[in-house]
Amino acid sequence: MPKCLTYVINTNDKTMVIYLHGGPFFNIETPLDDPFASFFFKKRNLILLNYPFKKGIGGMDDFKYLYDAFVRLKIKFPKYKFYLVGESYGAYLSSLFSQFNFFEKIICISGFVSIIYQQLFSSEREWLAQYLNPNAVDLLYLAQKNVINTPIYLINGDKDLTTPWLQLETLNLLNNKNVKIYVLNGFRHRENKKKLDKVITLVQSILSRY
């Protein structure tokens, strides 16, 4: 069973960030395993939620696992407002929950929004094609169906070869009021040092706009 790690650092603050890591081929054991988890651990009530990973199940079994986990967490913390943050593959999974009303906001860092675009142009297209379930959907599909019900913020770099930012352009054309896009000039899929700090600052500013 994938681990769910909970850190309540301020009981007076009735907000909770749930973080889904990238990968997907590993689990987070402590906040120190991930730079975004490390940041949230110091600043906010945090849940690090791992998910199952196996070829052929992506976008379906992991999504269903997370759905059930979110329902349980909402019951466990009934007075809290929840915010979902995901990075890379975790951002893709996070985006799928924009069709529900579980979260106040969803923030996706370096995630993909179009499976077809990823399979054509991503540097990671080979493993992705094997990993995803053929019936998996994506944020572009949800936008086309007009079922995005939660504000979702997409942060991508224009030098990212793993999740190329041009796939966000179609979302722009659909002009969905719940979708906000940030394309960071000169940023790759994962950054460090000053560029990482800029991404964290942007995420923090989005979360702070309650």
CA–CA separation, 185 and 198 (whole Å): 11
CA–CA separation, 37 and 33 (whole Å): 7
pLDDT in tens, 46-85: 999 999 999 999 999 999 999 999 999 999 999 999 999 9
pLDDT in tens, 130-188: 999 999 999 999 999 999 999 999 999 999 999 999 999 999 889 899 999 999 999 99
186 DSSP 8-state letter? T
CA–CA separation, 104 and 9 (whole Å): 20
| Residue 23: predicted pLDDT | 87
Angle at 148 between CA 121 and CA 189, to 5 degrees: 35
Domain chopping of the chain, boundaries: 4-208
Contacts of 115 (CB under 8 A, 6+ apart): 59, 128, 132, 136, 137, 138
CA–CA separation, 113 and 128 (whole Å): 13
CA–CA separation, 84 and 94 (whole Å): 7
CA–CA separation, 129 and 124 (whole Å): 9
56 DSSP 8-state letter? T
The rounded radius of gyration (Å) of the Cα atoms in the chain is 16
Q: Once rounded to an integer, what is the mean pLDDT over residues 108-123?
A: 97
Q: How far is CA 162 from the centre of its chain?
A: 15
- DSSP strand pairing (46-49 vs 179-184): unpaired
pLDDT in tens, 26-50: 899 999 999 999 999 999 999 999 9
Q: Which CATH superfamily is domain 4-208 in?
A: Alpha/Beta hydrolase fold, catalytic domain (3.40.50.1820)
CA–CA separation, 135 and 31 (whole Å): 32
> What residue ranges in the chain does DSSP mark as E strands?
4-7, 15-20, 46-49, 81-87, 105-109, 152-157, 179-184
The residue type found at 83 is Y
CA–CA separation, 37 and 50 (whole Å): 12
